[in-house]
Amino acid sequence: MRAGPYAEVDGVTYPAVALHGPTVRILAFGDEQPLPGFEHDGWDRWGRLVDRSAISRLFWVQTTATWSGRTVTVDNVVGNKATFSYDGDDLPLDNPAVRRIGRFEWQGTVPVDELSDVVEVVTDVPL
């Protein structure tokens, strides 16, 4: 499952941030440095700035899924965990996987296998 921005560099697709500048930060996750040039950013991830000219594809994935009978927007996926947002007033307050971040806004992090009916819409970003 994918969600959010991505960049393809040297045939490998990485999660990314800041797709619209002259450089793009690509991300990798895990304890080990993925490749030379990646630096640990203190947030349990590795990052590397890549010049836009070295990128073969940029794209954004908008993902929705069903969790606990409700349609949620998947914001990002790291390993086997997905962070989602939900607008409404009917998520269970006693579930430790979710928290209310506004009057009708919720955020949760759950194992990917708890999500069903996944729909990914991919939009290419011009290089």
User: Coil, strand, or helix at residue 54?
Assistant: helix
- The span from the first CA to the last CA of the chain, in angstroms, equals 24
User: 120 with 89, same domain?
Assistant: yes
Task: Say whether both 70 and 114 belong to one domain.
Answer: yes
Q: Residues 33, 39, 41, CA angle at the centre, nearest 5°?
A: 110
Do 45 and 26 belong to one domain? yes
Q: Contact 34/28 with Cβ under 8 angstroms? A: yes
Instruction: Say if residue 39 is in the same domain as residue 68.
Output: no
| Threshold 0.75, pTM exceeds | yes
98 three-state secondary structure: strand
Q: Name the token pair of 47.
A: 């990052």
- Residues 72, 28 share a domain: no
* 73 shares a domain with 53: no
Q: What does the pLDDT look like over 57-90, one tens digit per residue?
A: 999 999 999 998 999 999 999 889 999 999 987 7
Q: What is the average per-residue pLDDT within 46-57?
A: 94
Whole domain around residue 77: which residue ranges?
62-125
CB 75 within 8 A of CB 3: yes
**Boundary-marking domain end, from 44, 59, 74:** 59
